Amino acid sequence: MTLREPCLREDLSDVKVTFRESPTRQMIELQAIYEGGEFRFAIPPDPVKLRDSRVKIVVTVAKGLHETLSREEQERLRDQLLEANPAELKVKIEHEPDETTEAAPLILAKTAEEKLKAYWSLKGEPVADVQQRLITKLARIEAAVLSQEA
């Protein structure tokens, strides 16, 4: 903004306003979820927009007993995004919060049968006859292990 004249005018003709593009590079933030061994993006990354931009990707790892994001998977994602030639790339890994109330029955269960039933209540119960066969098999295994320890 530049003042053209020392006195102020109501019509603002004494002021010249010019705009210029910021010298800093564009910042792009991407959101992704890692679940089942795959990255799912809220908005798929556009390589044209990533070029020469500062890119931050926030990856949320889905909660689950067996969900983990390995270093190799992180590197694969990083390499995939670097193909677009961004000026800067940051990867942030977040984990969905564990709800301890959901896993509490599993943690509090004492016997193997109680733990199995608590697991089924979290993940879904199999058919009744399958449940009974698994519980019977588990009881036999547990008895065999306890007899070996004695």
pLDDT in tens, 10-52: 887 788 878 777 677 788 999 998 888 888 888 888 899 899 9
Instruction: Give tens-digit pLDDT for 68-122.
Output: 788 888 899 999 999 999 999 999 988 876 655 566 777 788 888 888 888 888 7
Residue 37 and residue 91 in one domain: yes
Angle, in degrees to the nearest 10, between helices 112-123 and 100-108: 160
Answer yes or no: are the C-beta atoms of 121 and 87 closer than 8 Å: no
Amino acid at 34: Y
**pLDDT value, residue 150:** 62
- SS3 (DSSP) at 88: strand
- As a whole number, mean pLDDT of residues 118-129 equals 84
Q: What is the dihedral of CA 57, 58, 59, 64, to 10 degrees?
A: 180
Residue 124 and residue 110 in one domain: yes
Residue after which a domain boundary falls, among 95, 118, 135? 95
Residue 89 and residue 111 in one domain: no
Burial of 137 (C-beta count, 10 Å sphere; 0-12/13-18/19+): exposed
Closest CA to 114 of 122, 123, 105: 105
**pLDDT value, residue 103:** 66
Residue 67's pLDDT band (cuts 50, 70, 90) = low
| 51: containing domain | 27-95
Residue 41 and residue 91 in one domain: yes
What proportion of the chain, given as a percentage, has pLDDT over 70? 91
Q: How far apart are CA 129 and CA 127, in angstroms?
A: 6
Q: Which two structure tokens, joined as six digits, stand for 61? A: 């790892």
SS3 for 69-100 is CCHHHHHHHHHHHHCCCCCEEEEEEEECCCCH
Q: What's the longest Cα–Cα distance across the chain?
A: 101
**Number of other CB atoms surrounding residue 13 within 10 Å:** 9
**pLDDT value, residue 96:** 75
Residue 12 lies in a domain: no
Residue 105 lies in a domain: yes
